[in-house]
Structure 1
Amino acid sequence: MAGVETVFKSRGACASSSHTLNMCFVVVVLLGIPSVMSQSLSFTENDIKVLQEEVYQIKLLQTGAYNTSLKVAATIQHPDIVQLDPQTLDIPAGGGDTSYDISAHGISPGHSEIYFTVTPDGYVQKDALFLRITVMISKALNYVSYIVGWVYFAAWSVSFYPQIYTNYSRKSVVGLNFDFLALNIMGFTMYSLFNCGLYFSKAIQINYFNRFPRGLNPVQLNDVFFSTHAAFATIITITQCCIYEREGQRVSTVARSILATMFLVVIITGILSVAHVIEWLDFLYYCSYIKLFITFIKYLPQAIMNYRRKSTVGWSIGNIILDFTGGFLSIFQMVVNAYNYNDWVSFFGDFTKFGLGLFSLAFDIFFMLQHYVFYREAKEFVRVNSSDERSDASSSSDGREYVVLVQNWNADEKKYDLEAKA
């Protein structure tokens, strides 16, 4: 029995020893693995604007302690635009929460990205450390750009209401093209989907930053407000078309075909997104392409309608003036930024924004020519009965001149004749 007891004790001791060795092995392995969960390196800000010849202090924050020393080295995209001091930084092992100062010296106006490599690998997530530095000529121009941005945002936002007021005061939408409205509501709906998706959806944002690790979210809160507000204002205008005089106008077959094609694209890409064939981010990009296409064509129906009627009565010139103001200031802001940041490549390279701005301005100028030059003598036609006491009038109480169409019954041909009375 004593021998058996000795054997069991020996086996128990061996098991205990084996368990201890396993625990030691696990501890050794864990100590050898870089701990990236409780430690991190990050900048207090990633997007920085610096004046030319200015020195700007940047802080690199360390959270937690690393079990080995690290070396952080900067790679500057354009050394002729900005310089860092120091360009390499040593992070000692065993330190706690601390910060390190890095000086950014603006050399010449422009944009430069700065990438950082950390050795040894595995301790800091790749692409986690980066800076985007913009060196500018003048802070005053930067403020001008900021103010101009809000002014053209306000002008574009308010531009929908002159047409709404015109419709309300006339109790008529005659002169306002329905194709323009149909294309507009489709465009702003697509624009709202794009903006709301990128601004509110965390999943889509993660997808975006996975594609563009050093990118910025292109959608800001004012973009969301503008697009949704524009869609809302367009819906109000469409509602007016349902309740006010419209002389039988409806959306044309051509416009319906275009809208049906776009709607089909949205449905197909939406199904592909649900089926995970494409990402939801791609779906939003398709929505933005539809908005882009609509912007190119939406003004054509109204311009053609004005030409055929030889009149702009019913089409609010206030809408055009505000739209022109917003478009002009948008391009002006691009010019100011291009000069201040010496970034003319982006100015001419961003064809979408620059091209759309010029295209919209060209149509606005054409509409103003139609209103103030080509058809400035055009008067509004008002249909009344021959017995109406207003049939001899040629102006309204608010000073608007119009031509009265007197409706007389033709007994021989059994129809109404319209006689114009000045």
Structure 2
Amino acid sequence: MLSFWTALSHLLGWTYTAAWSVSFYPQLILNWRRKSVTGLSIDFLTLNPLGFLCYSISNLALYASSTVRASYRARHDGHNPQVALNDVVFAVHACAVAGLTWGQSWVYQRDPSQRLSSYNRLILLLLFLSLLTLTLLATLERLSYLSLVLFLSSVKLYVSAAKMVPQAWVNYRRKSTEGWSIENILLDATGGLLSLTQLVLDSWVDGDWTGITGNPGKLGLSLLALAFDALFVVQHFVLYRGRRGSSNGKEQEREDAEAAAGARARAGRGEQRGGSLGDRGALLAGEEEAADEDEEEEASVRRRGTEREPLLGRTRRGHERASSVSS
């Protein structure tokens, strides 16, 4: 029969798993309803699946691999790693949903400026080369598999920090949390608190306080979640509360429709102004053309007048000579 503390640990574990798992869906649904990922960091969407892939492998190895668990016991005075089944379920599920959300960034609308940063492109390359090298060393028995697993946990921690910083920066630069789901963060904070509580409780029940630091992935993930979630809550509810995103997409759809209507109205006014300017331009052009024609006519009259004057002079002189002869 399970002891009270063990039962409490299971309750905490599966509750945090549910909270953290559900936290992925508000953003996924919001993107689907808006058919857009505007307002999201592409670094966040790209790094998230990689981090949870590493976390899934790490948890699976610590939970099910006899080789890794034996190596862990050798380092921790015979104690097993503090990894529960709910940790594995959460990590695998999170990896799948994060991959789906990343796929939305390739299908739905996004701003041209939304690109993976050059810095994280370089980091991804270095991480890939490091994982390849360490896996090869572990295969050749030059490195323990436990060391490889712990490295995977550290990759997850880096990715968690690296994906959160760009999102916080995007919110700051836009002075808005529009297009971004706060429910995701509230659930994430709940999961982080419960996960940390379960880890501490399990280590206390097992009589091994090193079990807290012996699972750096779970410990670091919980602390990072609580720290960044606190920042995001302040951004959403305090700093940029006038520009909140919508969790169900209806408010966002209304705002998008209003923005589109406003754009069409401005375009219509621009066309009217353009038409009015065009009419005035045509009138001025007509007046200039008429003035040119008047000038040409006056010049023609002057030329004809100039030509008639010599002719009249010659005619008068001819009449004078004729009068002289007849006299």
Which bracket does the TM-score occupy, shorter chain normalised? 0.5 to 0.7
- 2:149 matches 1:295: no
Question: What code does the residue aligned with 2:231 have?
Answer: F
| Structure of higher RCO (CA pairs closer than 8 Å, 6+ residues apart) | 2
- Structure 1 counterpart of 2:50: 186
Distance 1:210 1:374, change over 3 A: closer
Distance 1:400 1:377, change over 3 A: farther
Asked if the contact 1:296/1:356 (under 8 Å) is kept, the reply is: no
Distance in 1 (alpha carbons) for counterparts of 2:71 and 2:207: 29
Asked if the contact 2:192/2:221 (under 8 Å) is kept, the reply is: no
Question: What code does the residue aligned with 1:286 have?
Answer: F
Identify the match of residue 84 of structure 2 among 220, 229, 253.
Answer: 220
- Structure 2 counterpart of 1:130: none
- Structure 1 counterpart of 2:255: 401
Question: What code does the residue aligned with 1:150 have?
Answer: W
- Structure 2 counterpart of 1:318: 183
Unpaired runs of 5+ in structure 2? 272-327
Question: What code does the residue aligned with 2:31 have?
Answer: N
Distance in 2 (alpha carbons) for counterparts of 1:359 and 1:397: 30
Identify the match of residue 364 of structure 1 among 207, 229, 233.
Answer: 229
* TM-aligned CA deviation for residue 298 of structure 1: 2.4
* TM-aligned CA deviation for residue 146 of structure 1: 3.4
The structure whose residues are more often strand, as a share, is 1
Q: How does 1:197-346 map to 2 (within 5 A)?
A: 197-209=61-73, 211=75, 214-248=78-112, 249-333=114-198
What per-residue deviation string (whole Å, max 9, x for no partner) do you get for residues 359-388 of structure 1? 3212112212222222222278xxxxxxxx
- Structure 1 counterpart of 2:283: none
Distance 1:181 1:275, change over 3 A: same
Distance in 2 (alpha carbons) for counterparts of 1:144 and 1:199: 20
Distance in 1 (alpha carbons) for counterparts of 2:72 and 2:50: 24
What per-residue deviation string (whole Å, max 9, x for no partner) do you get for residues 11-36 of structure 1? xxxxxxxxxxxxxxxxxxxxxxxxxx
Asked if the contact 2:82/2:202 (under 8 Å) is kept, the reply is: no
- 2:225 matches 1:377: no
Distance 1:286 1:152, change over 3 A: same
Identity %: 40
Distance in 1 (alpha carbons) for counterparts of 2:193 and 2:29: 24
Distance 1:348 1:238, change over 3 A: closer
Question: What code does the residue aligned with 2:26 have?
Answer: P
* TM-aligned CA deviation for residue 198 of structure 1: 3.5
Distance 1:272 1:141, change over 3 A: closer
Distance 1:401 1:343, change over 3 A: farther
Asked if the contact 1:328/1:361 (under 8 Å) is kept, the reply is: yes
Asked if the contact 1:163/1:319 (under 8 Å) is kept, the reply is: yes
> Which has the higher Rg, Structure 1 or Structure 2?
2
Distance 1:217 1:286, change over 3 A: same
CA RMSD of aligned residues (A): 3.5
Question: What code does the residue aligned with 1:221 have?
Answer: L
Asked if the contact 1:347/1:354 (under 8 Å) is kept, the reply is: no
Pairs aligned (count): 260
3-state SS in 2 of match to 1:401 = helix
Distance in 1 (alpha carbons) for counterparts of 2:120 and 2:253: 36
What per-residue deviation string (whole Å, max 9, x for no partner) do you get for residues 327-385 of structure 1? 222344567678x86989669978955565343212112212222222222278xxxxx
* TM-aligned CA deviation for residue 228 of structure 1: 1.4
Distance in 1 (alpha carbons) for counterparts of 2:185 and 2:94: 15
